[in-house]
Amino acid sequence: MKEVTLKIHAGGFMTTVATIDVDGQKISVLPKDYQLDPVRDFTMHVDFLRVSGNTQVTVEIPVHFINEEKSPGIKIGGVLNVVRHEVEFHCPADAIPEFITADLEGLKIGDGIHISHIKLPAGVTPVITDRDFTIATIASPAGGTTGEQE
């Protein structure tokens, strides 16, 4: 269980398909839930879901942001306001993305990144389908100044 605890704390545990040995039979599984000891922070229990190549799963995938230095809004003092650090997706169990990438290049203060701006791998679809939801925005800095000359 020490190895499992280390993997939980390293991140990506809930989106990584593992192989477990049950009485000599190798089974592909995806972690569905786990319980840590509240005091000593070690793993007490893990629930697994048996998966195969055609199993569709619903998982939360982290969002990584790139090209902050290429965002005019951030360059003049704007702040990246992350609305969703993770997004819930339906995807094949054998093709769960490690993360999705949000590109900030060209974004000005007041601009936002929506799910439609994200290139998703084949077979990966957001759980929310009724709107083009926001991932992040470029907001004015506290105090409202942007460093621009008036």
**What average pLDDT does the segment 114-131 reach?**
95
pLDDT of amino acid 149: 40
**pTM for this model (two decimals):** 0.73
Range of the domain at 11: 2-50
Residues 24-62 pLDDT 10s:
988 888 888 888 888 887 888 888 888 887 889 999 999
Domain shared by 45 and 114, yes or no: no
Cβ proximity of 26 and 19 under 8 Å: yes
- Whole-number pLDDT of residue 102: 97
Q: Kindly tell me if the per-residue pLDDT of 1 is higher than 70.
A: no
Q: How far apart are CA 93 and CA 48, in angstroms?
A: 13
What is the domain-level CATH number for residue 128?
2.170.120.20
Does residue 63 belong to any structural domain of this protein?
A: yes
Q: Which amino acid is at 54?
A: N
Q: Which of 31, 50, 69 is the last residue of a domain?
A: 50
Where residue 14 sits, what CATH number does that domain have?
A: 2.40.240.10
Same domain, 24 and 72: no
Looking at the structure, do residues 33 and 100 belong to the same domain, yes or no? no
Residue 133 scores a pLDDT above 90: yes
Band of pLDDT at residue 132, cut at 50, 70 and 90? very high
